[in-house]
Amino acid sequence: MLHLPDNLRLYLVTDDRPQLLARTEAALRGGVTCVQLRMKHASFEAFLERAREMKQLCQTYQVPFIINDRAEIAKQIKADGLHIGQKDLAYSAARRIVGSHCPIGVSVHTVEQAIKAEKEGAAYLGVGSLFPTSSKSDADFVSLDTLKQIKEKVSIPIVVIGGINEKTLPSVMPYQPDGVAMISAILSSDDPEQAARHFRQQLDR
């Protein structure tokens, strides 16, 4: 079950590097509050198999599990949520697939997109990319000023994403996002558990 906004606080988005389950479990031990499985280039079968494994892992730690983009898989495994981007499935199509009870988060890059997503029924927004990131080479950049405007215009929770790490986190925190999404800062760390614990402590202050 996805409890908003509490479960968004330290939002882990997966990469596709080796030993993902072990690194994700370490991050769960460290205190991430939800996990999104993102496998942009995987086949349906490979994604489904990994999704089943990841859901079981998240259930062990009682942390919500969210699927990126693949609405059919989110429905099949009864994921706790679905997340879609501007270049993915349209919100209305995703909603038809997953049904009325599955929360859908939407990535946005402009104020107009944010307002539209909220009107359509998005449960929360992913706002970014705020900073350059190796995890997404084709990312659309969002200024901190745009983040501020989006916060003023919508009432649903906001998760910031894109290049957020030890250096960039302090510049984001004054905008009081409901959650911070991380990929490399946790999963590429030598010690994902300790990295997650460190960021969780900063966000809980």
Q: What is the pLDDT of residue 140?
A: 81
Q: What is the three-class DSSP state of 32?
A: coil
Per-residue pLDDT tens digits for 140-170: 899 999 999 999 999 999 999 999 999 999 9
Catalogue all structural domains in the chain, each as residue range(s) with its CATH number: 6-204 (3.20.20.70)
Pairing of strands 158-160, 124-127: parallel
Q: What is the pLDDT of residue 69?
A: 97
Per-residue pLDDT tens digits for 84-96: 999 999 999 999 9
Q: Judge whether 122 and 105 are in contact, CB under 8 Å.
A: yes
Identity at 5, one-letter amino acid code: P
Rounded to an integer, what distance in angstroms lies between the CA atom of residue 152 and that of residue 147? 9
145's tokens: 């000023």
Summary mean pLDDT of the chain: 96
In the block, residue with structure tokens 């558990």? 193
Residue numbers annotated as active site: 38, 107, 136
Per-residue pLDDT tens digits for 49-62: 999 999 999 999 99
Closest Cα partner for 107 from 137, 130, 76, 135? 130
**For residue 152, with 0-12 CB atoms within 10 Å meaning exposed, 13-18 middle and 19 or more buried, which class applies?**
exposed
Pairing of strands 34-37, 65-68: parallel
